[in-house]
A and B are shown apart, each in its own frame.
Chain A
Amino acid sequence: MKRKVSLLIALVMVLTTLLVPTMANAAEPVKIGVIGPLSGNLATYGESTTNGVKLAIAEINEAGGVLGGRPIEVIAYEDDKGDSTEGANAFNKLVSEGAKAIIGSVTSGVTAGLATLADAEGMLLLTPTATADTVTDGVTGVFRACFRDSFQGDVAAKVAVNLGVTKVAILYASGDTYSSGLYEAFKAAAATLGLEIVATESSSSTADTDYTTQLTNIVASGAELIFAPYYYDSIGPYIVPQAREAGFTGFFVGADGWDGTQNTMTDDKSLYNGCFYTNHYAPDDPSEIVQGFVAKYTETFGAESLTALAALGYDAAYMLRDAIEAAGTDDTAAVIEALYGISFAGVTGTFTLDESGTPQKAAPVIEYVDGVAKFYAYI
Chain B
Amino acid sequence: MDGLTLFIQQIINGLRVGSVYALIALGYTMVYGIIRLINFAHGDFIMVGAYALFFTVPVMIAAGMPPWLSVFAAILVCATTGVLVEKLAYSPVRAKGNKMTALITAIAMALFLENLAQTLFGANPKQVKTIFDLPQVFGVSGNTVLTIILGVVVMIALSLYVKYTKTGQAMRAVSEDKDASLLMGINVNRTITITFAIGSGLAAIASLMYVAQYNQVTNMMGSMLGLKAFVAAVLGGIGIIPGAMLGGLVIGIVESLSKAYIAPLTGGLITSAFSDAIVFSILIVVLLVKPAGILGKNTGEKV
- Distance of B197 from chain A, by nearest CB (Å): 28
Residue from A43, A203, A219 within 8 A of B1 (CB atoms): A219
- Distance of B209 from chain A, by nearest CB (Å): 13
Q: Are A237 and B125 in contact (CB under 8 A)?
A: yes
Complex formed: what's the CA distance from A217 to B273 in Å? 14
Complex formed: what's the CA distance from A220 to B127 in Å? 30
Counting residue pairs across A and B whose Cβ atoms lie within 8 Å, the total is 98
Complex formed: what's the CA distance from A46 to B122 in Å? 12
**Is A322 an interface residue, CB under 8 A from the partner?**
no
Could you tell me how many residues of chain B have their Cβ less than 8 Å away from some Cβ of chain A?
36
Q: Give every chain A residue within 8 A of B215 (Cβ-Cβ).
A: 237, 241, 266
Q: Give every chain A residue within 8 A of B91 (Cβ-Cβ).
A: none
Q: Are A237 and B127 in contact (CB under 8 A)?
A: yes
**Is A73 an interface residue, CB under 8 A from the partner?**
no
Query: With A174-B271, A174-B273, A204-B276 in contact, do A41 and B218 touch (Cβ < 8 Å)?
Result: yes
Residue from B9, B125, B220 within 8 A of A264 (CB atoms): B125
**Is B159 an interface residue, CB under 8 A from the partner?**
no
Q: Are A216 and B6 in contact (CB under 8 A)?
A: yes
Q: Are B124 and A263 in contact (CB under 8 A)?
A: yes
Q: Are B214 and A39 in contact (CB under 8 A)?
A: no
- Which of B10-18, B79-87, B98-106, B188-196 lines the interface with chain A? B10-18
Q: Give every chain B residue within 8 A of A263 (Cβ-Cβ).
A: 124, 127
**Is A201 an interface residue, CB under 8 A from the partner?**
yes
Q: Are A238 and B127 in contact (CB under 8 A)?
A: no
Q: Are A213 and B130 in contact (CB under 8 A)?
A: no
Q: Give every chain A residue within 8 A of B14 (Cβ-Cβ).
A: 213
Interface residues of A in 195-210 (CB under 8 A from B): 201-205, 207, 209-210
Q: Give every chain B residue within 8 A of A33 (Cβ-Cβ).
A: none
- Distance of A321 from chain B, by nearest CB (Å): 28
Q: Are A267 and B124 in contact (CB under 8 A)?
A: no
How many A residues touch the partner, as a band? 35 or more
Residue from B6, B13, B130, B275 within 8 A of A266 (CB atoms): B130
Q: Are A213 and B1 in contact (CB under 8 A)?
A: no
User: Taking CB as reference atom, which chain B residue is nearest A267?
Assistant: B130
Q: Are A216 and B9 in contact (CB under 8 A)?
A: yes
Q: Are B127 and A216 in contact (CB under 8 A)?
A: no
Q: Are B259 and A214 in contact (CB under 8 A)?
A: yes
| Chain A residues proximal to chain B, CB less than 8 Å | 39-41, 43-44, 46-47, 173-175, 201-205, 207, 209-210, 212-214, 216-217, 219-220, 233, 236-238, 241, 245, 263-268, 304-305
| Chain B residues proximal to chain A, CB less than 8 Å | 1, 6, 9-10, 13-14, 16-17, 115, 118, 122-125, 127, 129-130, 141, 214-216, 218, 220-221, 224, 255-256, 259-260, 271-277
21 of the cross-chain contacts (CB-CB < 8 Å) are A39-B118, A43-B118, A47-B124, A174-B273, A202-B271, A202-B273, A204-B274, A207-B224, A209-B216, A212-B17, A213-B255, A217-B260, A219-B1, A233-B125, A236-B127, A237-B125, A238-B216, A267-B129, A267-B130, A304-B122, A304-B124
Given contacts A47-B124, A264-B127, 7 further A-B contacts (CB under 8 A): A39-B115, A41-B220, A44-B125, A46-B123, A217-B6, A238-B216, A263-B124
